[in-house]
């Protein structure tokens, strides 16, 4: 059955997409992801910069230092399982309750362990800075809650990311409104940190709700030691790959905090947020086409290679298409912050292509 939005397209496009249900699902899934990210990017630009101006470079720097610090440990809570689990759900839908149950338990154990180690390391690095340690601890609780993102992997395997989008967007709207209210109430930094944690909790609850709406229930999940062991055996190299990406993405803010100070982190983070907001392009494309590529690998090597090549070409085109205008046209990189445009422009032009390339590499590795 064709997607409902097909009827609104011009006739020549509708004819090319007619009965190509797999392609329709990919376009629909990518569209949901793009719409969500563009909406959140626009709202974040307004609310985020308002929060940055309200908190000031010092407190905004503490917040972003803590976020960067937690991000370094998040890879140990996810255990590099995400793409492996999506692949296994596509290959073995009849075993989805065992796969999802085992994944949830692994993520929960990883989240608790990562949180404990993170708190210990922060206490060792910042023995006198109680505020920074408190912010890190509150944000770090999200590592445990994110074990419920296992549900998101099920939606991805079915190319149904609209439910993830609805979950995250609804939570985002609520917490964005809460941040505006906190600014008007002249609230403290800790209040904004708690709102960030609430965003993770609400997103997880919404995922559970939509999971049940699709006729599924977490009570059916059956963790299995053999499945869990198999997942970890395949995913552990991705932990190091994820750690390398996390270090590449966030260690600059941690180094600034240690070497220069929290004020410098606040100024720098306000500019970097503009660059990072566009990484969703590579993520949206990769998550939408991944199930299709996995299936083609099982049935026809020629089709698999052709789809991989199209994926390479599309990502490279998008990466260069976004990078070049930002490099040569200064107004595009003039973020509403106190960082000069040229570093932002150059950083954006390099990082966008690097992010797309990393997803290409991960996808190729996971499909084999």
Q: CA nearest 74: which of 169, 139, 151, 135? A: 139
Q: Which class for 50: exposed (0-12), middle (13-18), buried (19 or more C-beta within 10 A)? A: middle
Residue-wise pLDDT tens digits, 326-345: 555 544 444 444 433 344 44
pLDDT 10s digits, 342-358: 444 444 444 544 454 45
Q: Which pTM does this prediction carry? A: 0.68
Question: For residue 8, what is the enclosing H or E element?
Answer: none
Residue 177 DSSP one-character state: H
Are 146 and 202 in contact, with CB atoms under 8 Å apart? no
pLDDT band at 75 (very low <50, low <70, confident <90, very high): confident
- Token pair listed for 178: 């809460």
pLDDT tens for 296-326 read: 776 777 887 887 787 777 777 777 776 666 5
Who wins on pLDDT, 35 or 210? 210
- Say what the pLDDT of residue 237 is: 80
User: Quick one: pLDDT at residue 333?
Assistant: 45
How far is CA 185 from each of CA 60, 63, 130, 194, 264, rounded to the nearest angstrom?
17, 19, 24, 15, 26
Of 113, 120, 155, 152, the residue nearest 136 (C-alpha):
120
Q: Give DSSP secondary structure letters for 259-318.
A: HT-HHHHHHHHHHHHHHHTTTHHHHHHHHHHHHHHHHHHHH-HHHHHHHHHHHHHHHHHH
Nearest one of 214, 238, 24 to 110, comparing CA atoms: 238
Distance CA 353, CA 15 (A): 34
How high is the pLDDT of residue 254? 74
Kind plus residue range of the DSSP H or E element containing 190: helix 189-213
Residue 268 has pLDDT above 60, yes or no: yes
Summarize the confidence of residues 54-73 as an average pLDDT.
85
126 pLDDT higher than 70: yes
The average pLDDT across 9-38 equals 62
* pLDDT tens per residue, range 221-258: 988 888 889 888 888 887 877 777 777 767 777 777 66
């Amino acid at each position: 059955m064709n997607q409902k939005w097909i009827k609104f397209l011009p006739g020549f496009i509708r004819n090319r997409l007619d009965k190509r249900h797999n392609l329709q699902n990919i376009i629909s899934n990518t569209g949901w992801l793009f719409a969500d990210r563009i909406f959140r990017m626009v709202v974040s630009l307004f609310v985020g910069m308002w929060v940055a101006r309200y908190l000031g470079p010092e407190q905004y720097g503490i917040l972003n230092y803590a976020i960067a610090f937690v991000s370094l440990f998040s890879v140990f809570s996810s255990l590099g399982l995400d793409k492996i689990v999506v692949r296994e759900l596509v290959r073995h839908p009849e075993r989805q309750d065992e796969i999802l149950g085992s994944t949830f338990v692994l993520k929960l154990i990883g989240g608790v362990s990562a949180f404990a180690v993170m708190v210990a390391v922060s206490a060792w690095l910042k023995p006198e800075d109680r505020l920074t340690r408190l912010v890190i601890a509150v944000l770090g609780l999200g590592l445990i809650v994110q074990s419920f993102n296992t549900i998101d992997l099920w939606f991805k395997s079915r190319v149904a990311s609209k439910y993830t989008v609805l979950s995250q967007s609804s939570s985002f709207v609520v917490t964005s409104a809460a941040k505006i209210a906190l600014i008007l109430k002249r609230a403290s930094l800790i209040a904004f940190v708690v709102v960030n944690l609430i965003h993770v909790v609400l997103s997880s609850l919404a995922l559970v709700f939509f999971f049940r709406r699709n006729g599924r229930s977490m009570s059916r999940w059956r963790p299995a030691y053999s499945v869990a062991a198999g997942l970890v055996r395949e995913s552990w190299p991705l932990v190091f790959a994820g750690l390398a990406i996390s270090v590449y993405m966030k260690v600059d803010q941690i180094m600034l905090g240690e070497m220069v100070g929290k004020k410098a982190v606040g100024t720098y983070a306000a500019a970097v947020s503009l660059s990072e907001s566009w990484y969703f392009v590579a993520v949206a494309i990769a998550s939408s086409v991944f199930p299709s590529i996995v299936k083609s690998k099982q049935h026809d090597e020629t089709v698999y290679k052709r789809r991989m090549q199209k994926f390479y070409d599309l990502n490279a085109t998008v990466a260069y298409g976004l990078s070049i205008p930002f490099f040569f046209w200064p107004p595009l990189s003039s973020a509403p912050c106190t960082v000069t445009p040229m570093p932002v422009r150059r950083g954006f032009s390099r990082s966008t292509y690097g992010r797309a390339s990393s997803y290409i590499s991960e996808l190729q590795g996971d499909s084999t």
